[in-house]
Amino acid sequence: MAYTITHFAPATRSRIDAFFHRFGQGVNAYAESRSRQGQIRALDAKSDEELARMGLTRDRIVAHVFRDVIWL
């Protein structure tokens, strides 16, 4: 027979919550540092003619920005 503990002491629950809070903050910071929104906005702000000179179309901007991680 297996037993499952579903009740934690308040101090233990607090430590667990703090751990996951810090972990989540680290994940958010990492994701924001890897964000490519600036590149996407910069390309989106260009005219269709400027994009054409770069060999891009507006619908391929995201694929172009993420070309090193996604092969679309």
For the stretch 7-45, pLDDT in tens is: 778 888 899 999 999 988 888 888 877 789 899 999 999
> Which pLDDT score, from 0 to 100, does residue 6 have?
73
22 within domain boundaries: no
Is the pLDDT at 1 greater than 70? The verdict is no
**Number of separate domains in the chain:** 1
Sign for the pseudo-dihedral over CA of 29, 30, 34, 40: negative
53 within domain boundaries: yes
43 within domain boundaries: yes
Is the model more confident about 6 or about 22?
22
> Which pLDDT score, from 0 to 100, does residue 27 have?
86
28 within domain boundaries: no
CB 16 within 8 A of CB 33: no
Question: What pTM does this model have?
Answer: 0.55
Cα distances from 31 to residues 10, 25, 45, 50, 62, in angstroms, run 31, 10, 23, 29, 17
30 within domain boundaries: no
41 within domain boundaries: yes
Domain that holds residue 61: 36-72
10 within domain boundaries: no
